[in-house]
Amino acid sequence: MFQVIKQEGRARRGLFSCAHGGQVQTPVFMNVGTQGAIKGAISAHDLKELKCQIELSNTYHLHLRPGDGVVRALGGLHRMMDWQGPILTDSGGFQVFSLAGLRKITEEGVTFASHIDGRRIFMGPEESMRIQSNLGSDIAMAFDECVENPAPYDYVKQSCERTLRWLKRCKAEHDRLCAQPDCLNPGQMLFGINQGGTYEDLRVWSMEESAKVDCDGYGIGGLAVGEETAVMYRILDVVLPHAPEDKPRYLMGVGTPSNIIEAVWRGVDFFDCVMPARNARHGKLFTWQGTMNIKNERYKLDGRPIDSGCGCPVCRSFSRAYLRHLFKAEEMLAMRLAVMHNLWFYNTLMERIREALDQGAYGAFREEYSEKLGQRYPL
């Protein structure tokens, strides 16, 4: 399932396997298709061309539309999307955080007001597991609460304790569902989630107690939600030494290229973030020299590709000037091409991280690119 094949300091080079898609090379960035597609008109077929290894979709959104029962009737998410690789489904727990004004939390679970039509929806650990089982994903995430930052210590402590109780309920229901004869994906894995806000003792307690539940991997949630970047790195430094060595570690919702490079250095294996697609839709593109805003006037007559060192389908065929024109003309193609470029960049970034680890040169790679990739493209 997961094997660490090489280490450089705490950075880990690994192999991960699941029911679909053969071996995944880690560290890996999961491309986010919240509702079964990447925003920007990117299909599963495009993802394969863009070197995506794992696709991520969201339990909450697919439960609302088209409905997990519909997805199951269509043969599961893989068949509906025509994606043959691994899929991870988020549990819906992040919506507990992001829809804070539309929900009520109890010991049993969370009652949401749908952001679509306002109807009341209840989701608890068992419901989240059943929905994810209907979707047929390869990795299901445990149902958790992502607390806001900052939050009082006493509330975060209570939330951590409840999230652990929810994890145990998730594990029991997940095991039951996978044993059913009509289970879509009996090989589905379950990842627990570490919480604790920015309180070091709660983070350590959460990881140590979650590890006792013996999940297939562990997410680190509740970071990149408003805290300083240095605080996020401090929490990773504190919590990762307590994570099981033989299980993948997944930093949820992170992040920038620099964040990824720094988190790999600290021992993270899996990442996801909407950033490459979201930024692309607004004309912000990632290059190996830094970020650029393709809408700027300076690119009006620029016949060069976005990044001369990039081999993506966009850079092989189109110029900066053309892409800028498409954005200015508000053509849908602008978003599609920009998203394709940024996803290729992120997936290539992970390739280069793995190559550096293979060569024992990750420290030098980090020194060269960690700060550089966060800067603006040079004039």
31: CATH: 3.20.20.105
CB 113 within 8 A of CB 119: yes
Query: CB burial class (10 A; 0-12, 13-18, 19+) of residue 370?
Result: middle
Q: Are strands 23-26 and 55-58 parallel, antiparallel or unpaired?
A: unpaired
Q: Which two tokens stand for residue 201?
A: 């003792």
Task: Tell me which residue has tokens 């697919």.
Answer: 62
Residue of 39, 18, 13 lying closest to 28 (CA atoms): 13
Give the number of domains in the chain. 2
Do 61 and 105 lie in one domain? The reply is yes
pLDDT in tens, the chain (379 residues): 899 999 999 999 999 999 998 899 999 999 999 999 999 999 999 999 999 999 999 999 999 999 999 999 999 999 999 999 999 999 977 776 677 677 889 999 998 888 889 888 899 999 999 999 999 999 999 999 988 899 999 999 999 999 999 999 999 999 999 999 999 999 999 999 999 999 999 999 999 999 999 999 999 999 998 899 999 999 999 999 999 999 999 999 999 999 999 999 999 999 999 999 999 999 999 999 999 999 999 999 999 999 999 999 999 999 999 999 999 999 999 999 999 999 999 999 999 999 999 999 999 999 999 999 999 998 6
pLDDT (tens digit per residue) in 139-166: 999 999 988 899 999 999 999 999 999 9
Instruction: Give me the pLDDT at residue 338, please.
Output: 98
Full residue range of the structural domain in which residue 97 is found: 2-273
Q: Which amino acid is at 288?
A: W
Do 255 and 288 lie in one domain? The reply is no
Question: Strand (E) positions, the chain?
Answer: 2-8, 11-17, 23-26, 28-32, 55-58, 87-90, 103-105, 110-113, 120-123, 139-141, 189-194, 217-220, 249-251, 270-272, 284-287, 290-293
Do 85 and 229 lie in one domain? The reply is yes
H/E stretch holding 68 reads helix 68-73
Radius of gyration (C-alpha) of the chain in whole angstroms: 20
Q: Which of these three, 219, 240, 273, is where a domain ends?
A: 273
pLDDT (tens digit per residue) in 350-373: 999 999 999 999 999 999 999 999
Do 175 and 100 lie in one domain? The reply is yes
Examine residue 379 and state whether it is found in any structural domain, yes or no.
no
How far apart CA 260 and CA 357 sit, in angstroms, is: 14
CB 157 within 8 A of CB 206: no
The dihedral through the CA atoms of 303, 308, 310, 311 has a sign that is: positive
CB 40 within 8 A of CB 358: no
Do 284 and 222 lie in one domain? The reply is no
Instruction: Give me the pLDDT at residue 29, please.
Output: 98
Residue of 249, 277, 271, 239 lying closest to 258 (CA atoms): 271
- 93 Cβ contact list (under 8 Å, min separation 6): 128, 141, 142, 143, 144, 145, 146, 193, 221
Do 291 and 314 lie in one domain? The reply is yes
Instruction: Give me the pLDDT at residue 302, please.
Output: 98
Do 109 and 144 lie in one domain? The reply is yes
How far apart CA 370 and CA 109 sit, in angstroms, is: 40
Do 194 and 241 lie in one domain? The reply is yes
How far apart CA 242 and CA 20 sit, in angstroms, is: 29
Do 84 and 137 lie in one domain? The reply is yes
Q: Which residues are catalytic?
A: 90, 272
